[in-house]
Structure 1
Amino acid sequence: RLVRAVPAMLAAVAFSFALPAAAAGNNPFPSLVGTWTGSGTAKFDGGKTESLRCKGYYTSQDSKENLGISIRCANASAKVELRANIVDSNGNVSGHWEERTYNQSGSVNGKASNNRLNLAISGGISGSMQVSISGRSHSVTVATSGPSLKGISISMTR
């Protein structure tokens, strides 16, 4: 199950880590440049869960409003490699992602306010995501209407 469902979910998670807070100013991207690591859990239909380990690299593009993302997550049954480019325009977030191992792609749109994000994800999956930011860590909860993968929770720190 994880091999088919995780790529799109991890794309959603990637965006969540890339957009930490409007409270950091009109543009949160510069504070993200660097390396992040973390772990989490994927929840499946019937209550089954699987652990994930992730590493993220964030780079500044041509301007402070753009962010390049590279995230790798893995467990015993799957490996996922995500690339994304996103844009912040005065708290309105949009972008595109692609997962290179499983050849999936999609878009994300939403709003950043204070230490919280509310996003809609589309493409390989559709659903919603809420992100809470506290200092140098991110907490992410994703819910989907997919047939097997129901959600994911991940925390990453510097």
Structure 2
Amino acid sequence: MRNLKRAASMSACTSAVALALAAYALPARAESDNPFVTLAGTWGGSGTARFDDGKTESLRCKGYYTNNGNPHNLGLSIRCANASAKLELRANLVDTNGAVSGNWEERTYNQSGTVTGRATAGRMTLSITGGITGTMTVAISGGSHVVTVASSGPSFKGVHISMSR
């Protein structure tokens, strides 16, 4: 009986070690696959805002991305302006193995809502819902990135911004 208990105990211990090793060996999403790490920091650039009447306006933009040391969280603040227009987009995003979720707000047009989407090393593709609906893509290449927002808003239809460090 004693040998059976010892064998059962050894088997349970071996199973626990095997399970721990298997979990460790599973491929995890590499930090280099996470665009949040690449985006962290301050960016500057220019863009174009598009309105429902077909009018476009050039903008100067600043982007501030923070992750506070957590590569799976991203706070973003993009501010664009010219003499007659202003856009201030903010979001708090969470990356869970490539699935992105969070919330957003645009302060000039007083709109807010939720964000869902996907993230890879060089791209985020997001859906925005709430006061307005639309999409947001962020395409990252080296020391630059492009942000494109398309909206169903009543007057604001979208923005295309190119930024670099």
TM-score, normalised to structure 2, is 0.69
Structure whose alpha-carbon radius of gyration is higher: 2
Give the alignment of 1:53-64 within 5 angstroms.
53-61=60-68, 63-64=70-71
CA deviation string 1:62-86 (max 9, x = no partner): 6221122233221112334443321
Structure 2 residue runs of 5 or longer lacking an equivalent are 1-28
Give the alignment of 1:137-156 within 5 angstroms.
137-156=144-163
1-structure distance, mates of 2:97, 2:53:
40
1-structure distance, mates of 2:128, 2:159:
13
Note the C-alpha offset of 1:61. Answer: 2.7
Greater share of residues in strand: 1
Note the C-alpha offset of 1:119. Answer: 1.5
Cα 1:138/1:50, change in 2 over 3 Å: same
Note the C-alpha offset of 1:141. Answer: 2.7
Q: Does 1:105 align with 2:115?
A: no
Deviates most, 22-31 or 141-150: 22-31
Provide the residue aligned with 2:86 in structure 1.
Answer: 79
Task: Decide which of 104, 118, 124 is 2:125's aligned counterpart.
Answer: 118
Q: Does 1:39 align with 2:32?
A: no
TM-score, normalised to structure 1, is 0.72
Instruction: Show structure 1 runs of 4+ deviating over 6 A.
Output: none
Q: Which amino acid in 1 is paired with 2:150?
A: A
Cα 1:109/1:71, change in 2 over 3 Å: same
Kindly indicate whether structure 1 or structure 2 has the higher relative contact order, using CA contacts under 8 Å at least 6 residues apart. 1
2-structure distance, mates of 1:80, 1:74:
6
Cα 1:58/1:129, change in 2 over 3 Å: closer
Structure 1 residue runs of 5 or longer lacking an equivalent are 1-21
**Percent identity over paired residues:** 69
Q: Does 1:89 align with 2:96?
A: yes
Provide the residue aligned with 1:132 in structure 2.
Answer: 139
